[in-house]
């Protein structure tokens, strides 16, 4: 039953959602979706609690057993406790909460994102090799677009930005549309497998 129940919940919910989406039930349809959204939100909040417990257990274990680099776990635990206390006492939009979010969380977030700039370079340096025709095409397109996207490209090769624009709008669009179409229909089929209970590995079976 432990394995069957999730499958039943998924199938019943899917039938309800598809029913109210496809068939015009008027206000009843909208109210049903809203109700399901609320249930989903409540479940989500409970899951957060589970996540917090898991996180605490993991980091507490690291600290108590003095695992390598356990000091980072101390930082994680302190940050978690402070964030929880501040948010609960000061509110989600409270001044102190927003200060922490704006000046610590968002700054760290931006810094991690900014690594992208460096990692693009090292990934390109390591991977773009003229090994075969496909790799050469990839390399050629990358170099051309890098030049096209920066003013120096036009300064060295006048008109290269127009070539870059053409690559983006024609061959690139064609490829993207193909992947999108395939992935979209693939997602439909994957959902049907789950709804029909054919795909049940996520239940642990």
Partner 1 sequence: MTLLAEETVEGVFIFGPGMLWDFILIASLFVLVFVMIQRARAGLPIPEIRKIAGLEAIDEALGRATEMGKPVHFSPGMSGFGSEMYAGLAVLSYVAKMAAQYDTRLIVTTRRPYIHPVASDIVKQAYLEAGRPDAFNPEDIRYVSEWQFSYTAAVMGIFQREKPAANLMIGYWMAEALVLAEAGAQAGCIQIGANTNIFQIHFFIVTCDYTLIGEELFAASAYLSKDPMLTGTVVAQDMLKLAVGCLVVIGTIIATVKGDAQGLIDFLSL
Partner 2 sequence: MNWEKLQHIDIRILYVIILLCLLIPMFKPIGLPIMISDASRQVYETIENLPDGSVIWVSHDTGPGNAPELNPMITALARQAFRKNCKIIATALFNETVGPTLVYNHINEVAQEMGKEYGVDWINLGYRINAEATMKLIVDNIAEGALGVDWNGEPLDKFPIMQEVKSVRDDVDLLFVTTVGSPGYSDWMQYVAEPLKKPLTGGASLTMYSGVQHYIRSGQLKGFLGGLRGAAEYELLVGAPGKGCAGMDAQSLGHITVIVFLILGNIGYFAARKQRQQATY
Structural tokens at position 204: 């642990």
Rounded CA separation 90/85 (Å): 8
Rounded CA separation 78/83 (Å): 8
Is 86 among the residues that bind partner 2 (CB under 8 A)? no
Structural tokens at position 62: 């690291």
Distances in whole angstroms, Cα of residue 7 to Cα of each of 4, 50, 190, 196:
5, 22, 14, 8
Are the beta carbons of 136 and 126 closer than 8 angstroms? no
Q: Which is nearer to partner 1, 27 or 158 (CB)?
A: 27
Contacts with partner 2, residue ranges (CB under 8 A): 37, 98, 101-102, 105-107, 109-110, 112-114, 116-118, 120-122, 124-126, 128-131, 139, 142-143, 146-147, 149-155, 161, 165, 168-169, 172-173, 176-177
Contacts with partner 1, residue ranges (CB under 8 A): 18, 21-24, 29, 43-44, 47-52, 54-55, 57-58, 61, 68-69, 72, 105, 108-109, 112-113, 115-116, 119-120, 122-124, 126-128, 138, 176, 179-183, 185-194, 196, 198-199, 201-205
């Amino acid at each position: 039953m432990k394995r069957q129940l999730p499958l039943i919940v998924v199938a019943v919910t899917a039938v309800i959602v598809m029913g109210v989406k496809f068939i015009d039930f008027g206000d009843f349809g909208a109210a049903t979706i809203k109700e399901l959204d609320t249930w989903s939100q409540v479940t989500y909040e409970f899951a957060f609690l589970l996540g917090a417990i898991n996180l605490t257990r993991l980091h507490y274990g690291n600290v108590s057993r003095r695992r390598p680099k356990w000091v980072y776990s101390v930082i994680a635990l302190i940050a978690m406790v402070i964030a929880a206390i501040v948010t609960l006492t000061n509110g989600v939009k409270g001044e102190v909460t927003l200060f922490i979010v704006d000046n610590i969380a968002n700054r760290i977030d931006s810094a991690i994102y900014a690594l992208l700039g460096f990692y693009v370079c090292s990934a390109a340096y390591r991977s773009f090799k003229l090994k075969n025709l496909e790799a050469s095409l990839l390399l050629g397109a990358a170099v051309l677009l890098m030049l096209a996207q920066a003013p120096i490209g036009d300064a060295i090769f006048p008109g290269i930005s127009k070539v870059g624009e053409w690559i983006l709008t024609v061959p690139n669009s064609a490829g993207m549309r193909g992947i999108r179409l395939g992935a979209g229909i693939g997602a439909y089929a994957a959902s049907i497998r789950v709804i029909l209970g054919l795909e049940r590995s996520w239940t642990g079976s």
